[in-house]
Amino acid sequence: MRRPPVGRLIALLAVMLLGLTGVVARLSMLQVREGGAYEEQGYSQRLHTFTLPAQRGSILDASRQPLALSVEARDVYADPRFVTDAGAEAARIAPVLGMRIAPVRRALEAEGSFVYLARQVDLASAARLQAIELPGIGFLPAPARSYPAGPIAAHVLGAVNIDGVGIGGLEYQYESTLEGTPGELRQEMSPGGVPIAQGTDELSAPVPGDDLVTTLDRQFQYQVQEACEAAVRANHAEDGTVIVMDPQSGDVFAMASCPSFDANAYAQTPPRDRRNTALIDAFEPGSVNKVITAAAAIEEDAVSLGHTFQVPDHMMVSGLMIHDSHHHPTEAMKLGDIIAESSNIGTAKVAQQLGDRALAAYLERFGFGRTTGTGFPGETSGDVPPLEWIDATLATVSYGQGLTVSPMQMASVYATIANDGVWVEPRLVSGVVDGGGTFRPSDAPATRRVVSADTADTVTRMLASVVEDGTGTLAQIRGYQVAGKTGTALKVDPETGRYGRKYVASFIGFLPASDPQVVIAAIIDEPATIYGGVAAAPLFQQVAQYSIQRLGITPGDPVTLPPSALGLR
Amino acid sequence: MSLPARQVAAPSPRPAPSRTPAPSRTPAPARTPSQRPTPDRARRAPAALARPRVHLGFVALSGILITALVVGLVALNAVLAQTAFHMNAAQERLSDLRRTNVELTEEAARRSSPEVVATWARRNHMVTPAVGEVHVLHVPGSGR
């Protein structure tokens, strides 16, 4: 009988013991020393965090009718790994989504595990597609922005991008108010995507955004836009701008840029047509600016209402020939006549008595050279030439050439006169409605006195004479005394950098003259008939008629007109 | 498992070890001397009669308790599951109603939009009066 190989057995045992010791040591390291790290790693692999989008707040008009709101929709995606027959699936998907087959097929054949087929699909279409039960097709909740009033106030509202973030207008300006706070769901899930029963399951609910209440009146806005579009068509003009505002509160009732566009088709609209011309565009105001020269001259006692000027139809200033809009012999004119007849030469003479520093100071006090405070994205501050001015600059600035302003800045000037000389910051938003339905009004608008109430009253009388028997007779409204001013401004040709042959026609005014309730600015860009009194005054008149009906404005007592040397009165 | 000490009150003919299960709740025979068992019966009783009676009672009581517990737990679980189901259904309904509310709000806003109303009016041969043809009548104190 052979002896057992004791030595080898002992060696084998030793090797086995060594191996086991190694295994135990490694296990100890994994379980004890590095156990915490592996546990953490495993937990992080199981833990999934989902962001829950917050409901975006609505934008409402003054009577709380929605101008913009978010509706539920679906993003449709595909996981191409599970698509069995891309061609057949694409042929079934494309008609439901209103797409062509080729791009859908390309998406289904793409590399990777996720590709969007369509975003913000309406629920009905998504449900139809879901009913087909195609492999590899999934749906994600995604809110879509809807503008139920279509083109109404489209230039003011702006838009959101595909991810629901504001990219223009009020949507962009009030992004932090509207967006809300996204929620979060943290769930421990198995590799198959099934929530683990006893695992982490924490929900932090999203907080919806606040609703924005604008000062715009949906019905009024529509009427104003319609009138503006009609005026642009009738005058064969490029575009038009109308602002209707309350001179006391600064609330903007309507703000129209025409031609308009459907807010639901923002992305398909050329950027040029999406501009809110009332705030973004700067133009040379022309004769509507004479109201500042007149107000400054009266406030500074540079000119009295009874003072008579000898006014020719042209004048050489610093080597620049300036002239009135029509030929006339040298005439005796009082300040009221100069404004009523819109004489450039007369206004330049008034400005010479006032001086450049005083005029520049009043331009600044009326808000030129800075934004109006609406905070609207892209709002222009306009441009006023820096002092010292040569005589030609003083002359041209006095009648509104050689400086630029936005229509809103110009409307604010007239609102200041209408508000007894107190400038009020214009506003488009009156407050917000929070998730609990509580209305929180916006801060009171900033105000500042620009001219005395007496000066404002005197200027109002002059503006009333413009409509009564001056250049603005087409703005008259039966039974109401309207105060306003025409403007006909030459435009600079962007190619040559010099004045060309195109004009901006405008009429800005308020009514009733004795107790102004509404300020209206009507501006027509490049009309066939260049004069503000012809192209823009009828638009003002029409919008004023709507204002009377919509706002219930009563006629008020008439104001006395200023003295005339032309025998106008 | 032993019963509480207060239930181990009846005297026993011979001292039982402390771990012996307590006698049943039958009235203690020691109070009526005439019914007191003879020493022989007394010696046999714990072995032949008392032990099975104690075990049966214990088993029955435990059975009832366990059954009641199980039934209670199942019932509670069922109620919880049902409540969760109702809550889930209610949340889904709330979600549906919210969605419907938004959809209807949007639909109402779209249909009441001035442009839609104006288009409808034109289609029905209504016309907007020309400027100046509208005469506004003012009642004192009603205007702005």
pLDDT at A193: 74
CATH at residue A302: 3.40.710.10
**Residues of A with Cβ-Cβ distance to B112 under 8 angstroms:** 65
Complex ipTM value: 0.74
| B78-123 per-position pLDDT tens digit | 998 888 889 889 988 998 898 889 889 999 999 999 999 999 999 9
Alpha carbons A550 and A546: distance in angstroms, whole number: 6
Give the number of domains in chain A: 1
Examine residue A16 and state whether it is found in any structural domain, yes or no: no
Which of A72, A218, A553 has its CB closest to that of B102? A72
pLDDT at B57: 84
CA A511 to chain CA mean position, Å: 26
Indicate yes or no: CB of A553 within 8 angstroms of CB of B143.
Answer: yes
Q: Which residues of A touch B (CB under 8 A)?
A: 65-66, 69-72, 123, 146, 148-152, 218-219, 221-223, 226, 477-478, 517, 538, 541-542, 545, 548-549, 551-555
Contact A57, A78 (CB under 8 A): no
pLDDT at A140: 87
| 3-state secondary structure string across A340-382 | HCCCHHHHHHHHHHHCHHHHHHHHHHCCCCCCCCCCCCCCCCC
Contact A291, A463 (CB under 8 A): yes
**Residue B22: which pLDDT band, with cuts at 50, 70 and 90?**
very low
pLDDT at A359: 96
Examine residue A99 and state whether it is found in any structural domain, yes or no: no
Alpha carbons A530 and A504: distance in angstroms, whole number: 7
Indicate yes or no: CB of A222 within 8 angstroms of CB of B138.
Answer: no
**Chain A with chain B: Cβ pairs closer than 8 A:** 69
Q: What is the distance in angstroms between the Cα of A411 and the nearest Cα belonging to chain B?
A: 20
Contact A432, A398 (CB under 8 A): no
Which of B106, B110, B144 has its CB closest to that of A551? B144
> E-assigned strands of A384-433?
422-424, 429-433
Radius of gyration of chain B (CA): 44
pLDDT at A423: 97
Q: Virtual CA dihedral for A544, A547, A553, A556, nearest 10 degrees?
A: -10
Indicate yes or no: CB of B102 within 8 angstroms of CB of A549.
Answer: no
Residue given tokens 């016309």 in the structure block: B127
Q: Which of B113, B116, B128 to mutate to test the interface with A (most CBs of A within 10 A)?
A: B113
pLDDT at A63: 94
**Residues of B with Cβ-Cβ distance to A226 under 8 angstroms:** 118
The burial of A393, by beta-carbon neighbours within 10 Å (0-12 exposed, 13-18 middle, 19 or more buried), is given as: buried
The number of C-alpha atoms within 13 Å of A373 and in the hemisphere containing its C-beta is 18
* Cross-strand pairs, A487: A506
Question: Which comes out higher in pLDDT, residue B29 or B106?
Answer: B106
Lowest mean pLDDT, pick from A11-25, B9-23, B104-118: B9-23
In the predicted structure, residue B5 carries a pLDDT above the cut 90: no
Which of A146, A545, A554 has its CB closest to that of B106? A146
Indicate yes or no: CB of B113 within 8 angstroms of CB of A149.
Answer: yes
Domain ranges of chain B: 36-123
| A173-184 per-position pLDDT tens digit | 999 999 999 999
**Residue B50: which pLDDT band, with cuts at 50, 70 and 90?**
low
Which residues, at least 6 apart from A524, have a Cβ–Cβ distance to it below 8 Å?
A231, A232, A235, A237, A240, A504, A505, A506, A535, A536, A539
Alpha carbons A274 and A154: distance in angstroms, whole number: 8
In the predicted structure, residue A141 carries a pLDDT above the cut 80: yes
For range A32-40, the mean pLDDT? 89
Q: What is the distance in angstroms between the Cα of B69 and the nearest Cα belonging to chain A?
A: 23
Alpha carbons A307 and A455: distance in angstroms, whole number: 16
Lowest mean pLDDT, pick from A187-191, A371-375, B108-112, B114-118: A187-191
Examine residue A100 and state whether it is found in any structural domain, yes or no: no
Lowest mean pLDDT, pick from A75-79, A113-117, B19-23: B19-23
**Residue B15: which pLDDT band, with cuts at 50, 70 and 90?**
very low
DSSP B65-119: HHHHHHHHHHHHHHHHHHHHHHHHHHHHHHHHHHHHHHHHHHHHHHHT-HHHHHH
Examine residue A326 and state whether it is found in any structural domain, yes or no: yes
Query: Is B115 an interface residue toward A (CB < 8 Å)?
Result: yes
**For residue A485, what are the CA distances in angstroms to A143, A210, A227, A463, B80?**
47, 41, 19, 6, 76
Indicate yes or no: CB of B110 within 8 angstroms of CB of A517.
Answer: no
**Residues of A with Cβ-Cβ distance to B106 under 8 angstroms:** 66, 69, 71, 146, 148
For range A289-318, the mean pLDDT? 93
The percent of residues in chain A predicted with pLDDT above 90, rounded, is 74
Examine residue A101 and state whether it is found in any structural domain, yes or no: no
Examine residue A145 and state whether it is found in any structural domain, yes or no: no
Q: What is the distance in angstroms between the Cα of A77 and the nearest Cα belonging to chain B?
A: 22
Lowest mean pLDDT, pick from A237-251, A262-276, A473-487, B11-25: B11-25
Rounded to two decimals, what is the model's pTM? 0.81
Contact A341, A565 (CB under 8 A): no
Alpha carbons A57 and A432: distance in angstroms, whole number: 9
Alpha carbons A335 and A313: distance in angstroms, whole number: 16
Give the residue from chain A lying closest to B136, CA to CA.
Answer: A549
Lowest mean pLDDT, pick from A49-58, A59-68, A121-130, A558-567: A558-567
pLDDT at B4: 44
pLDDT at B44: 52
**Residues of B with Cβ-Cβ distance to A149 under 8 angstroms:** 109-110, 113-115
Q: Which of A262, A515, A554 to mutate to test the interface with B (most CBs of B within 10 A)?
A: A554
What range defines the domain where residue A519 resides?
Answer: 218-551
pLDDT at B98: 87
| A456-512 per-position pLDDT tens digit | 999 999 999 999 999 999 999 988 999 999 999 999 988 888 888 899 999 999 999
Give the residue from chain A lying closest to B117, CA to CA.
Answer: A219
Q: Tell me what the pLDDT averaged over chain A comes to.
A: 92
* Amino acid at position A345, single letter: I
**Residues of A with Cβ-Cβ distance to B122 under 8 angstroms:** none
Helix (H, G, I), strand (E, B) or coil at A269: coil
Q: What is the distance in angstroms between the Cα of B116 and the nearest Cα belonging to chain A?
A: 8
| A211-227 per-position pLDDT tens digit | 999 999 999 999 999 99
Residue given tokens 């938003």 in the structure block: A429
Token pair for A146: 């809807």
Contact A506, A489 (CB under 8 A): yes
**Residue B142: which pLDDT band, with cuts at 50, 70 and 90?**
low
DSSP A155-194: HHH-EE-TTS-EEEHHHHHTHHHHS-B-EEEEEEB-TTSP
Indicate yes or no: CB of B114 within 8 angstroms of CB of A223.
Answer: yes
